[in-house]
Structure formats: structure tokens, C-alpha cells
Amino acid sequence: DDGSTDGSGQRCDHYGKIDPRIVVIHQDNMGVSAARNRGLAVSKGKFIGFADSDDTLEKDMYELLINNAINTDSDISVCGIKRIYRDQVDERMSDKSVKIYEKYEGVYEVLTGLFYMNVGNKIFKSEIARNVLFEGRFKEDLLYNVRAFLKAEKSVFQDAPKYIYKLRENSVSIRKFSILDMEGLAIDRQVIDLVSQADEKTVREAKIYYFVQILSTLNLIVLYSEPPYPDDFYNMIRDLKEYSFVAGKSLGLKLKHRIAYALIMLSPLLYKYFLKLYVLLVPSEVGKRDK
């Protein structure tokens, strides 16, 4: 209970009284990172998981994650996610087979999005979880995942959608451009430094991830601002040029991102026209922000 005013604290106390396994902590509201770190400090289990209070879990999610971790002797166990927005369900198709990933392969799949950036669909061996702290109020899951997977020797993944992520109207995933987006880019850039000692494939994927995040942020500025654009716009253009080598077809950047890069380099105004047309025709996170 981190300073809740909706009665959550009393509900926590109720559950704490009827089940001795539940430890209740009351503290001032200092954000999700502080709340999770406090929980880590008092945790006693062999595995540790984190769930957002607004999301829901299938009843057998932790059973699946723990069984997979034990059966494969993995440091981190991951399952799939079902995303819900305005009663629309986005569920990735999968064969739901159990797959094992060695060392840096886990970090790589966090960055590709296969493992998702969310920490809610994962459990971590306690010796790893307790040695990584959450930081800040934005993209804290990304940093935690990258640092934890860098410490893991093995991870296991089963793409069964057991974690149900509810994308809310006021979610940072669907709001319009704000200073938070610039803070997010600084974190994305930090990831490149974090994985600098990993294998070449993972380092390259971190740069591709950063490149795509720049494009996504530029999309917001172009859609919701009019020239003259803020200085941040031109700083991002500079960074795009610095990492333009990832736009090569052979490096795995998606075609839509290669086209976006070419258009925005050619003309931001022309890019704005095509981007508005794109969000009208193709469902996307950027389009959701304009509804």
C-alpha cells in the first residue's frame, strides 16, 4: 500500500490477517519502483514476480512459470501476454512450446519484443531479482529486464498468454507527446551502454531498438506539433543519422521503419502527410493516441 486513497490499504490488511503468507507494507506514495524495491527487500521466496495492480493473471500463470523454471533449471521464466484495449484483444499466435535461451539470447529477445518489456509476465530466481533494483518512474521495467537478463545464464519462454495487460486511456503507451518521451529516449540510449559487453548480435539489437524508439517519438512530434519543431526534434534527427547503419535491409530493421527513416530524412512535412494516412488505415499505438 503506497499511499493509496481507494481503500487498497485496508484490503491488504484484510488479506494479511487471513493468510500468514501475505506480508503487508504501508508506505508513502513514492512510485512503483520504490514499492517494488521495498517488496524485494523483505521477500523470502525462491522465485520473485511482479504484477501491476491494474492487470490480471490467469490462475495458472505462476504454476506454469515455476514449473518451466524448475524443469529447465532456468534463472528467468517468461510467458506470453494478452493485451486488451477498449475491449479489443490483441493475442499473439504461438505454438506455445517451451523454448530455452542461453545467456545473452534472453536480453536479445527482450529487445526484439518477443519476451515483452513488461516484468509482469516473468519470474526471476531470487538471487538475481534481489540484486537488481528498479529505477525511476518511467520505463523502469525495461531497465530491470535488461539488467536481470544480463545476470541470467539461462531463461525459458512459453508463449502461452497468461498475463493480461490492460492498456488504459491514460497509459503512457497511448498518450500524446510529452517530456516523458524524451526521458524515455534517454533510457533507451542507456540500454546500449548496458549491453556493451554482450555479444555482437545483442549490441546490434539494442541499437536497432533505440533507432525504432527515436522514430516512434518523432512520429508523436510530427503528428501533434506544427513547425517550427522543438530542438529535441533535431537532436533526434542527429541520432538517427548516427545510427543510420541499422537501416540496412540485412540488419533486420522492418520495412516500415526503413521507409519512415527515408521519408523523414527527405521531408518532415511529406512524412507527416504519409504518417497521418498510415494511422487512418492501419491500427497502431500512435493512432490510439489520437482518439
List, in order, residues 6 or more apart from 40 with CB less than 8 Å away: 48, 129, 130, 133
**In-domain check, residue 235:** yes
Read off the pLDDT of each residue in 28-44 and give the average, rounded to a whole number. Answer: 92
| Residue that terminates a domain, selected from 166, 193, 220 | 166
Q: Which residues contact 196 (CB under 8 A, 6 or more apart)?
A: 203
Q: Which of 285, 175, 177 is nearest to 222 (CA)?
A: 177
Q: Are residues 56 and 150 in the same domain?
A: yes
Clarify whether residues 161 and 201 are in a common domain.
Answer: no
Q: Is residue 183 part of a domain?
A: yes
Last residue of a domain, one of 141, 166, 191: 166
Instruction: Examine the domain organization and report whether 212 and 246 are in the same domain.
Output: yes
3-state secondary structure of 207: helix
Range of the domain at 110: 46-166
User: Are 64 and 139 part of one and the same domain?
Assistant: yes
Whether residue 112 is found in the same domain as residue 207: no
Mean per-residue pLDDT over the chain, rounded: 88
pTM for the whole thing?
0.89
pLDDT at 134: 96
From 16-25, 85-94, 147-156, 202-211, the region with the lowest mean pLDDT: 85-94
Task: Find cell 547503419 and name the residue.
Answer: 245
Report the candidate in 103, 102, 189 with the shortest Cα–Cα distance to residue 142. 189
Percent of the chain with pLDDT over 70: 91
Strands 88-91 and 122-125, by their bridges, are: unpaired
Same domain? 137 vs 227: no
Query: How confident is residue 170, by pLDDT bands cut at 50, 70 and 90?
Result: low
Q: Are residues 191 and 160 in the same domain?
A: no
34 within domain boundaries: no
Residue 109: its pLDDT value, please? 97
* CATH code where residue 62 lies: 3.90.550.10
Structural domain contains residue 79: yes
Cell of 131: 540484486
226 and 138 co-located in one domain = no
Q: Which helix (H) or strand (E) holds 35?
A: helix 32-42
DSSP state of 161: E
pLDDT in tens, 189-244: 999 999 999 999 999 999 999 999 999 999 888 887 776 677 888 889 999 999 98
Answer yes or no: is 264 within a domain.
yes
Q: Which three cell numbers stand for residue 77?
A: 521464466
pLDDT band at 176 (very low <50, low <70, confident <90, very high): low
Is residue 84 included in any domain, yes or no?
Answer: yes
Per residue in 65-113, pLDDT tens? 999 999 999 999 999 999 887 777 776 777 789 999 999 999 999 999 9
- 84 and 120 in one domain? yes
| Chain-centre distance for alpha carbon 244 | 24
Structural domain total, the chain: 2
- C-alpha span between 38 and 218 (Å, rounded): 36
If asked whether residues 103 and 158 sit together in one domain, one would say: yes
Could you tell me if 260 and 271 are in contact, meaning their C-beta atoms sit under 8 angstroms apart? yes
- 11 inside domain: no
Of 103, 135, 166, the last residue of a domain is: 166
Residue 37 lies in a domain: no
- pLDDT of 155 above 60: yes
